[in-house]
Amino acid sequence: MSGGWAQVYDALAPTYDEMTTGNGWSANRRARGLLAPLGLVPARVLDLGAGTGQTAVMLHELFPAAALTLVDPSPGMLERARAMMSDAGVSGAEVVAADAASFLRADDRQWDLVAAIGFLELVPDLFEVLGLAATRLAPGGHLVVSHEPLLDDGSVQAAPVSVVSGDQRVRRHPREDVERGAASYGLERVASDDGVAFERSEGGGPAVNELVVWRAAVDR
Ligand SMILES: C[S@@+](CC[C@H](N)C(=O)[O-])C[C@H]1O[C@@H](n2cnc3c(N)ncnc32)[C@H](O)[C@@H]1O
């Protein structure tokens, strides 16, 4: 279930890339900065919450030989992603309309790299998605994510749940809980970065995201 976010992003799709240019969306640039020094050569890359393809383009630029699968519950965002893939010269990318948890439950392929950028605060259960993604990593595979950690700063980000509208919620967890969850799924942290992901609209202040790369054990 995408918790109603698919319709929100369908409506946002035509202006999403312009909006993220304007609000300084930094997660993909920062994910690239974490992944590049690791020297990975992934053959199969899964991009969950792919949106209009910004994450997938970054992954293709880093790993041009990798086969890419893009997953997102918003058909409008995926339509844009297909166009962005074509403009970027990415051929043969697989595009699947599904929410992350449903896809990971139904598809038992293994991936050398899984990306979950920009949506873990939107899902009903971040830990479910992390746990499922961990089970789909090939031995020694990597998971790169962003999430909006719960802060103790009196800002909007100090609330564990923000109601956006209807059944759309933004959910936040302490960094330590996310790390504890990842460790319990057999993941080892290899890189991370904390910083402003974007400026919220209407004076909502900076949205802080933690970017993390975890590695699955080789002998799992
Ligand atoms: C902020 S955008 C991020 C898109 C892209 N990764 C980027 O960095 O530009 C969030 C995306 O997550 C998708 N999304 C919402 N709920 C989701 C879920 N449960 N599973 C997977 N994707 C979801 C939305 O449709 C939207 O395309």
C-alpha of residue 75 to centroid of ligand 1, in Å: 11
For residue 1, is pLDDT > 60? no
Sheet containing 137-147, strands listed edge to edge, beginning at the edge strand earlier in sequence: 94-97, 67-72, 44-48, 111-116, 137-147, 206-216, 187-199
The pick from 61, 72, 107 for probing ligand 1's pocket by mutation, whose C-beta has the most ligand atoms within 8 angstroms, reads: 72
What tens digit of pLDDT does each residue of 48-89 get? 999 999 999 999 999 999 999 999 999 999 999 999 999 999
Amino acid 86 reads S
What tens digit of pLDDT does each residue of 145-166 get? 999 999 999 999 999 999 988 8
- CB atoms under 10 Å from CB of 185, counted, come to 17
For residue 25, is pLDDT > 90? yes
Q: What is the 3-state secondary structure (H, E, C) of 102-131?
A: HHHHHCCCCEEEEEECCCCCCCCCHHHHHH
Q: Quote the pLDDT of residue 125.
A: 97
Which atom of ligand 1 sits closest to the CA of residue 115?
6
Identify the CATH homologous superfamily for domain 5-216: Vaccinia Virus protein VP39 (3.40.50.150)
Mean pLDDT of 118-141: 98
Q: Quote the pLDDT of residue 3.
A: 58
C-alpha of residue 99 to centroid of ligand 1, in Å: 9
The pick from 80, 99, 114, 119 for probing ligand 1's pocket by mutation, whose C-beta has the most ligand atoms within 8 angstroms, reads: 119
- Domain parsing of the chain, residue ranges: 5-216
